[in-house]
Chain A
Amino acid sequence: MSVRSTKTPLGFALKFIVSFAVLFGVFEASRGSAFERFVVEDLILVPTTDLINVVTPKEHATLVGRVISSPGSNLNVTRGCEGIEMFLLLIAGIVAYPASWKQRTLGLLFGSAIAYGLSVARLVALHYILRYSPSAWEALHGLVLPLGPIILMALFFMLWTARATRPSMDSGTRAA
């Protein structure tokens, strides 16, 4: 599939917002379903708890519902804290940007791996902050840890767009 290089930034912004809203709506509709529980609990929270125990076996972290519990802290992972938004942002960005299906697939594969790693790392970091530095909780939980991983995803997206745009220039040269 050829790349449509005539897309404007405004078109991208609108498509990005709409795509994200649709994806978010679909995921919200799945709240409480087996799919949502599998994604949030089995794919994100269980590995996060396991990782905490592997890195620091003395933590004895356990997952109780959606609370990562240890003798010194209880991290309640509420709606919007699971890291799902990073996947939704990635998909919305890749859908909105004009690129070939091959580039989109590669972007989704690599981006999802990064988003997954960041989601788990963010929850692990939140656990340790709550346990060992609760005074830093507000600044880190309120701004740095939600926005930091999103900025890293944005950097990945910029690198992906630079790579995804390159074939269009090549094809454009050939066409000329």
Chain B
Amino acid sequence: MRPEIRLALAAAAALAIGVACGEPYARLAAPYYAAVARLLSVGHPWTIVSVEVKPGTKSPSPELQLVGDVRRRTKDLHAAGRIISHVQVGEAVETPVVFWTLVLLWPAISRRQLLLRLAIAIPVFLGLEAITTAIQLMHSMAEVSAILAGEIDPVTFWEHWSRFLEGGGQFVLASGFAILVLSSTKWSTVASSRQLCAAYS
């Protein structure tokens, strides 16, 4: 089968899976997003209260919602404001759909290479989820902090990153990191084959 046709079929199947499994995936991933958000909050006057899939604020469709408290200073005990930020379930599932379609679609020369590829892909994917959906969920906390610090209409680094993700960056990162995984496993397989040949010669 021609690669373009294979990609088209795989993409259609991935989109269908993404639409059908968007909500279950978001529910499954919510604790991970919460853990990442808590990790990123270290050193900031932010407290992550919850990350859950809930009915949308503007529509009945479910969405990922982060509830967080923002304090004026790190040592303050009481929150100066509470934020509720949300990401559409469809947006949250974009990263896994693109990343795993590319990683799994690419033909592997052996079962060993496929396993190695999966072993590298899982931590890369977790990192990718942290810098995409998790940051999309919590970027408004930085904005609230800046407002509390006296800035008027602040555009923080987090906001710039969020705009980058919304403007196509999420797809670029998901596909770029997938290619990175595919390249690294290719090199690893070649390197280990050479070592094996050297050992037997």
Task: Give A residues with C-beta under 8 Å from B.
Answer: 8-10, 12-14, 16-17, 20-21, 24, 27-28, 79-80, 84-86, 88-89, 92, 134, 137-139, 141-144, 146-148, 150-151, 154-155, 158-159
Contacts and interface: CB of A to CB of B under 8 A. Distances in A.
Contact of A158 (B7, B164, B176, B186): B7
Q: Chain A: interface secondary structure?
A: helix
Nearest to A12: B179
30 contacts: A10-B184, A13-B175, A13-B176, A13-B177, A13-B180, A14-B176, A16-B175, A17-B173, A17-B176, A20-B168, A27-B167, A79-B163, A79-B167, A85-B171, A88-B168, A134-B59, A138-B61, A138-B90, A141-B88, A143-B18, A143-B19, A143-B94, A144-B15, A146-B90, A147-B97, A148-B15, A151-B8, A151-B11, A154-B7, A155-B7
Of listed B3, B19, B182, residue having the most chain A CB within 10 A? B19
Given A13-B179, A13-B180, A92 B91 contact: no
Q: Chain B: interface secondary structure?
A: helix
B19 A144 contact: yes
Contact of B89 (A138, A147, A148, A150): A138
A143 B15 contact: yes
B76 interface: no
Contacts of A80: 163, 166-168
Of listed A84, A139, A141, A155, residue having the most chain B CB within 10 A? A139
Interface in B12-43: 15, 18-19, 22
B153 interface: no
B97 A143 contact: yes
Contacts of B179: 9-10, 12-13
A11 to B, nearest CB: 9
